[in-house]
Structure 1
Amino acid sequence: MSSQLIAQSADFDQKLQAVANKYEAVGLAIVVVKDGAPVYNNAIGYKNLDTKAPLTTDNLFRIASISKSFSSTAIMQLVEKGKISLSDDFSDLVGFKVRNPKFPNTKITLEMVLSHRSSINDSNGYFELDVINPEKNANWAKSYNDYEPGKGYQYCNLNFNMVGAVLERLTNIRFDQYIKQQILSPIGLEAGYCVDSLDQSRFATLYDKQDGVFKAQTSAYNPRSEEIRNYKMGISTPVFSPTGGMKISANDLAKYMMMHMNYGQSGTTKIISKKSSKRMQKGLSSKENYGLALLENFKLIPGEHMIGHTGSAYGLYSNMFFEPKKKFGFIVITNGCVPTMDADDDILLSKEVIRLLYSEFVKK
């Protein structure tokens, strides 16, 4: 089922289907924004391979690492209120010592954590905060790289599970509820991190191709109900996976994207200030151009300066990219495909679909 406000070429549907077929997409959900408003949404393929239920742009996906930007948005709200600063020592915020043992005198700041310049890595895992807590794990030092904090970049999921815990410690509100209260509800999004709070009939099954067969990844929507019943604020936060656990539809992700495209403004509702929004969108690492859970991308569409993020987990590949000055953007999500990559480490399915959408709806 598609909806469009712009006339499309006679062969566009065939071109889109051809790209999906080339990479064996189980399903593909798409929203195109132009001049600051959605002009096209469409879903092809399946929500579930067993039932053959068709995918829609209202189905919920676990969108993986695009989730990180919800935490950084919430952090920027607290920075604006003067409750914290991006230059704060992260140790003071998270409640245990966060120091690279090779550079013990170098403060690891909140900004370094949000921009993956903290020198922290995922070697010890990221599902428990204890892995990096010197008082809880004898091997905590493995969680740090050899370079000085602030002087290098490594993408790290532990960074954002810790940021989620910081939000709880600062607000005394459970992470999933705080994000709903501060971001989701004000924008009007039916989304969230807590599986049991959502309409599970809307979940798109995620598929990973193993040994030539697409296999359902049911653990993607593990409700973690028992862990939530025994929840400890500021400690149990990774249960909700701030780093990758947001469940949201393509349509609602487009609304969230438009808020960032409009520098923090969603209709008449201000989520963050223009200054905070631009801070999030400004790349801080020279090679990666990664900001505060949003990155600058100069290669996705030749000649265009895009802002956004990708996600990949459980066979899903998600994309949220926008051009804030020209007011166009794209949501492209697949719940399973053959993940062929190019020399830029981009998933070709995603890149080819986005370039097709740009040519069809934005460029002409």
Structure 2
Amino acid sequence: MIAQKISSLILFSMLIGSTYAQTNDSISNKLTNELEQIAGDGPIVGFSVAIVNEEGTLYENGFGFADKKANKKYTENTLQNIGSISKTFIGVALLKARELGKLKLDDPINDYLPFKVEHPKFKNAPITIRQLASHTSGIKDPLEYEKKGYILKDAENGDAKVNGNFRSPDEMMLHGDYLKAILSTEGMWYKKKTFSKYPPDGMFNYSNIGAGLAAYVLEQATGESFPEFTQKHIFDPLEMTSTGWSFDTIDFSMHSKLYADADTELAFYKLVNYPDGGLITSAHDLAKYLSEIIKGYAGTGTMLTAESYKELFIPQLTDENHKDRSDSEYNDEYNMGVFMGISSKGQIGHTGGDPSVVTHMFFNEKTKVGKLLLVNTELEKESVQEFIAIWRALIANEDQF
């Protein structure tokens, strides 16, 4: 499922601020009380939050349930996939690979791929890594992205809901084979309409397949798998010890159940195109990453060089790349760095969504304070309102620590 986003018009209406200064403990207690009240009244089964700055984590907590039937609480250490926030890790990894001399952002992707990918309407305009990272490659998400991209973890799922587009475990395929099937003229699912009417470096078109292709290019350029590369250069340096790209690389006992609604569990699934949205982590681990990203923006980051961090946040888009450019505060598609969303109101980060997963991660470029929210429940009318209430509570308290 292509990333589900909270309405930008709703997010634009959120209020910012608080009226008085308090001690960190009293602010934490106040925020916890507010979030407990929200959690108690709403249909979202479980969620976690964190507020960070460049010094580290200021607040983290979990609310509701990771497993409602078992009465297992959702905590800051509960694990779940985070949807398209995962794409920011592709951006960081590409810049690390560039530091290592393995690739350049303006290299044509066909310099690395074992199969050819070209825009059928603009064959003389090679697609570059930078264009994948800014969603201007001309690659769209075909129907096969949803129809073939979600694979059940288990063949038998009891009473858990199985979405109509979830495939059986025996239909799992290698990531590279999946990309080739969709994007190569030799692929079994290849269609010219997978490519837009615009040339590479033209109109912005958010592409999950393009993001997965960027991660695959990195693998070909470095000779390492994407999970190995990110483990070595991101997770290990940041001590993200509970984070991984698959169920067998994390402590599954810490993984949250996912909920189609307040009373219906959703069957566990995995993504064939996993780099675009399949990272499994916790608020505790993701807070470490967000703090480091803020450090990088401030010029004190250690995961990448100062030059690489500068590149991560350089806006790649103009009005010419957009048909309709929303200026809502948390619109991560207003502009794009290297897979890093940049809003028109100084918020930098990304949103995410997959079946029964909704996530937000942003920091304020002026205050250098960031916040994140991970939810384990599909959002409908009432749960959208709860999501907004949680996010508003974070906004109201983020500058008070």
Q: Which moved more, 1:308-317 or 1:239-248?
A: 239-248
Q: Name 1:110's counterpart in structure 2.
A: 129
The 1:164–1:322 alpha-carbon spacing in structure 2 relative to 1, beyond 3 Å, is same
Is the 8 Å Cα contact of residues 23 and 337 (structure 1) preserved in structure 2? no
The question of 1:271 aligning with 2:303 is answered yes
The normalised TM-score by structure 2 is 0.75
Partner of 1:99: 118
Take 1:349 and 1:309, find their aligned partners in 2: how far apart are those partners? 20
Out of 138, 150, 154, the position equivalent to 2:205 is 154
Residues 229-286 of structure 1: CA deviation (Å, up to 9, x unaligned): xxxxxxxxx746011111111010000111111117998x722122222322233233
Work out whether 1:174 is the aligned partner of 2:225.
yes
1:356 equivalenced with 2:397 (yes/no): no
CA shift, 1:294, in A, is: 1.2
Q: Which residue of 1 aligns with 2:348?
A: 307
**Deviation, structure 1 residue 137:** 3.4
Map 1:203-352 → 2, pairs under 5 A: 203-209=255-261, 214-220=263-269, 222=270, 239=272, 241-263=274-296, 270-286=302-318, 287=325, 288-298=334-344, 305-340=346-381, 348-352=385-389
Output the amino acid matched with 1:270: T
Q: Which residue of 1 aligns with 2:194?
A: 143
Q: Is the 8 A contact 1:66 1:318 kept in 2?
A: yes
Secondary structure (helix, strand or coil) at the match of 2:75 reads coil
Corresponding residue of 2:168: none
CA–CA distance in structure 1, aligned partners of residues 371 and 82 of structure 2 = 14
Instruction: Tell me how far apart the structure 2 counterparts of residues 40 and 250 of structure 1 sit (CA, whole Å).
Output: 10
Gaps of 5+ in 1: 223-237, 299-303
**Relative to structure 2, which stretch is displaced further, 178-187 or 129-138?**
129-138
Contact 2:84-2:350 within 8 A present in 1 as well:
yes
Question: Is the 1:152–1:285 Cα contact (8 Å) retained in structure 2?
Answer: no
SS of corresponding position for 2:77: coil
**Structure 2 equivalent of residue 234 of structure 1:** none
Cα deviation, residue 7, structure 1: 1.8
Counterpart of 1:198 in structure 2 is 250
| Superposed displacement of residue 39, structure 1 | 1.7
The C-alpha deviation readout for 1:149-187, integer Å capped at 9, x for no partner, is 211011111112212221221222222122111110111
Structure 2 counterpart SS, 1:331: strand
Instruction: Rate the CA distance shift 1:340–1:21 in 2: closer, same or farther, 3 A.
Output: farther
Aligned CA-pair RMSD: 2.7
Paired residue for 1:229? none
TM-score normalised according to structure 1 size? 0.83
Quickly say closer, same or farther: Cα 1:186–1:240, change in 2 above 3 A: farther
Q: Does 1:120 find its partner at 2:139? A: yes
Please give the alpha-carbon distance, in whole angstroms, between the structure 2 residues aligned to 1:349 and 1:89: 44
Output the CA distance in 2 between the equivalents of 1:42 and 1:175.
30
Q: Which runs of 5+ in 2 are unaligned?
A: 1-22, 150-177, 319-324, 326-333
In structure 2, how many angstroms separate the alpha carbons of the residues matched to 1:53 and 1:283?
42
Report SS of the residue matched to 1:255: helix
Q: Please report how far the alpha carbon of residue 124 of structure 1 lies from its aligned counterpart in structure 2 after TM superposition.
A: 4.5
Deviates more, 1:252-261 or 1:331-340: 331-340
> Which of 55, 69, 75 is matched with 1:50 structurally?
69
C-alpha distance in 1 between matches for 2:127 and 2:371: 34
Distance 1:23 1:274, change over 3 A: farther
Opposite residue 302 of structure 2, the aligned amino acid is: K
Partners of 1:318 and 1:138 in 2: CA distance: 30
Q: Write the deviation string for residues 51-104 of structure 1: whole angstroms up to 9, x where unpaired.
A: 120111001111111111112111101112332111111122223222211122
Matched position secondary structure for 2:34: helix
- Residues 62 and 248 of structure 1 are in contact (CA less than 8 Å); yes or no, is this contact kept in structure 2? yes
